Amino acid sequence: MASGSKATNLLVCCDSVDNGSDNIDWSKFPKDLLEEIVFRLVRLSDHINFASVCTSWRSVAVENRSRIPRQIPLVIIPGKFNKETRAFFSLYSGKTYGAHLPELHRNWCCGSSEGWLVIEDDYREEIFLLNPFSRAKIQLPSLSTFSDPQDSADPERLRKFQFVMKAILSSNPDTTSNYVVMAIMVCEEENLSFWRPGNKRWKTLTTRWDPYEDIIYHNGLFYALSNQGPVVTVDIDSDPISVIEIAPRVAEPRLVDKLYLVESLGDLILVLRIDCEWQKVDGSLLQPYKTVEFQGYKLDRMNRRWMKIKSIGDQMLFLSDNCSMSLSSRYFPECSRGDSIYFNDDYSQRYFHNTFGCRDTVVFDLADKSFYKGPPFCSNTIIWVTPQPW
């Protein structure tokens, strides 16, 4: 059926509703018309409302859930009154919603991907996955099962001190059991370690690019940014496990505070966050924690080189310690700025010890290199989390 005919039939159906028909059997709507409706829905909340009409509508919604564009992430921030509650802040509505999440109390969120959080409990040496919307929990092997790859005499020797700097998922555990958790494990160095469902311990990799600073997952491969500069791909499905350098070190300017890997429209983007110069305060030299610029580089895969970029079009980048992501602003014009970077103060050492204190979440415009006020909260512990389709 032509799209024009679909639209005409859709208008006829809607007109019959507007004219006061109380006897419409919603389950009898033609499937092609329902698909025409669902194709036009952008926000996850609209898809959920669509699916709640009846069984046939839900079936169409589930079949087409892959068409839902990536949603603007919610921000999880500490609750004001109860240590076991957290607040979900919506960039779209500007509203804050409370949630009972005792699993986050006194624990460290080292990752956020596929709508799940990776939570580390140092006191119990536990690490687990948590869906903050359903509160579903998946226990992972203990931190004590991370082996030390540096000890060739006893590769299963347990580390004396360890924590996870960042962890990501390859897929959503709600939709498949064939997923992998990849982590940057900190001990003497920041090594890559991974776990699959069914494994009783973590498997730690040792490579010539150790230690690592950031990791992402894209198109069947893990991408890891080495502290030495190069980017490598990690294919844990190959035998033996394949680790290949795909990009050299980028020429960094002075005062680069942090580097982020992000996938955007199929391209690999490297973002550099740059701090300001040291300043003299009361006779002492201090480096205030203040981001003054971001620089972006896109990987030219064919020539294996980084190309500096001045614009990311209508894309928005959301950057933090626990996750980094890119999505289009054209679906959410009311609450977002294209060609911009959303970021927050995620350097806890400087947060606690710097005279200048923490900064609010801020938006950086790549086109004019200006900073704009972000959401109205100030916290060094915010977490980006993106709701996933059911």
Spatial contact of 159 and 186, defined as CB atoms under 8 Å apart: no
As given in the structure block, the two tokens for residue 16 are 């019959």
Q: What is the pLDDT of residue 6?
A: 46
d(CA 174, CA 230): 33
Spatial contact of 323 and 263, defined as CB atoms under 8 Å apart: no
SS3 assignment, position 31: helix
d(CA 123, CA 208): 32
Spatial contact of 217 and 113, defined as CB atoms under 8 Å apart: yes
Among candidates 11, 68, 2, 4, which has minimal Cα distance to 39? 68
Q: Which residue has the tokens 């933090």?
A: 320
CATH of domain 107-249: 2.130.10.10
d(CA 389, CA 175): 10
Query: What stretch(es) of the chain map to CATH 2.130.10.10?
Result: 107-249
d(CA 386, CA 74): 6
Beta bridge partners of 328: 315
- Residue positions counted in the chain: 390
Tell if the pTM clears 0.75, that is, is over it.
yes
Spatial contact of 75 and 91, defined as CB atoms under 8 Å apart: yes
Radius of gyration of the chain (CA): 23
Spatial contact of 194 and 236, defined as CB atoms under 8 Å apart: yes
Among candidates 266, 152, 238, 138, which has minimal Cα distance to 198? 138
d(CA 370, CA 21): 54
As given in the structure block, the two tokens for residue 368 are 């004019």
How many CB atoms within 10 Å of residue 332? Answer: 18
Which alpha helices (DSSP H) does the chain contain, by range? 3-18, 31-39, 44-51, 55-63, 348-353
Q: What is the pLDDT of residue 48?
A: 75
Provide the Cα torsion 72, 78, 84, 85; round to 10°: -50
Write out the E strands in 22-115.
Answer: 74-78, 85-89, 96-100, 108-113
d(CA 95, CA 98): 10
d(CA 73, CA 91): 8
d(CA 205, CA 301): 25
Q: Average pLDDT for consecutive 10-residue bins of the chain (390 residues)?
A: 43 45 74 84 76 84 76 77 77 80 86 93 86 92 72 47 85 92 82 93 90 93 92 93 92 79 94 74 63 89 92 91 87 79 62 44 82 61 74
Helical (H) or strand (E) element with 317: strand 315-319
Longest dimension (CA), the chain: 80
How many CB atoms within 10 Å of residue 264? Answer: 21
Q: What is the pLDDT of residue 328?
A: 87
d(CA 80, CA 358): 18
d(CA 90, CA 304): 39
Spatial contact of 377 and 360, defined as CB atoms under 8 Å apart: yes
Handedness of CA 345, 182, 184, 327 (dihedral sign): negative
d(CA 186, CA 165): 6
Peptide bond into 132 cis (omega under 30): no
